[in-house]
Amino acid sequence: IYSQGVKGHLSFESLPQTAIVHTYSLSDCVTDSGAAATAMARGIKADNRVVGMAEPNAKTSPPSLLDLARKAGWSTGIVTDDSVTGATEAPFLLEHGNRTEEAIIAAKTLDALGPRAHIVLGGGTQWFADPSPGPRRAYKPGDRQALQSTQAPLAKSYVAAFTYRTHAAAHVPYA
């Protein structure tokens, strides 16, 4: 386009197959990563700020690609260099009405280990531990309780590995 101007053509335009994709979200003409990932994972338009569901109060959501692969007998998992509780990763594993509630998403991620995913690799260990509160950690309402609720399921998880800076946590009782 730069060398040929607006009337120029790109080489992919001569390919025999084409597709048109509308990337706007259900709630805005500019999509966020949670709505975009939900569209990829579930095949639906979604509101910005939600993960794995169309709207914050949706009663049901279609299965994710992981669900379909698991049903077909495949091994499934998520690998990311971001937090596993992030809005881009979460729609493949779970449904939640607010992408910023990462402590709750962490608890739901642990619930997804086994039924939806064999393995989850990525960052975000701060959401799977209960650090003592200090000046560097500000808990949002409900975060501390959600963090504490992740401890028991983590002990029973399939495979989970989370890293955050120099801290690491791993639990591998795959038996």
Segment 83-129, tens digit of pLDDT:
899 999 999 999 999 999 988 898 898 888 888 988 888 888 777 76
Question: Could you tell me what percent of the chain has a pLDDT over 90?
Answer: 38
Answer yes or no: are the C-beta atoms of 84 and 92 closer than 8 Å.
Answer: no
> What is the pLDDT, as a whole number, of residue 149?
59
Provide the token pair at 133: 């509160």
Answer yes or no: are the C-beta atoms of 85 and 164 closer than 8 Å.
Answer: no
Segment 62-92, tens digit of pLDDT:
999 999 999 999 989 899 888 899 999 999 9
Give the span between the Cα atoms of 133 and 139, in whole angstroms: 8
Give the span between the Cα atoms of 146 and 151, in whole angstroms: 9
123 backbone dihedrals φ, ψ, rounded to 5°: -85, 180
